[in-house]
Amino acid sequence: MIHVIARMEIKPGCMEQFLEILLNNTPTVLAEDGCYRYESCLDIKAEDKDRFVTILESWESEEHLKAHLATPHMARFRDAVKDLRRSSNITVVTPVKK
């Protein structure tokens, strides 16, 4: 299993539109093979809650994540939000095994 932490800085005045696009795409992502979690989160700090969105994802494997990123709905998502984001940072991690 792998986990993805995708953090995006949203341009001022664009949060509502960004969240609408993101949340409309979420059921499609959750239905993908190998997707265990795709959860959109906002910062708790008042000064950041309208500035950053973090998506927490869990996938069965790196291959499932690669397939997800290549789907037509993710291409449409990236195109739809490209002018709404100031920046994005993606971290992919895997659990430590004993």
Chain-centroid distance, C-alpha 27: 12
Tens-digit pLDDT profile for residues 32-66? 999 999 999 998 876 767 799 999 999 999 999 99
- Average confidence (pLDDT) over 7-19: 96
In CATH terms, is domain 2-93 a member of 3.30.70.100? yes
What is the reported pLDDT for 46? 66
**Domain ranges, ordered by start, for the chain:** 2-93
What is the reported pLDDT for 45? 79
What is the reported pLDDT for 50? 78
Both tokens of 55, joined, read 């998506």
All residues at 6 or more sequence positions from 30 whose CB lies less than 8 Å from its CB, including other chains: 38
What is the reported pLDDT for 32? 98
DSSP helix/strand/coil, 75? helix
- For the chain, percent of residues with pLDDT exceeding 90: 90
What is the reported pLDDT for 79? 98
Mean pLDDT computed over every residue of the chain: 95
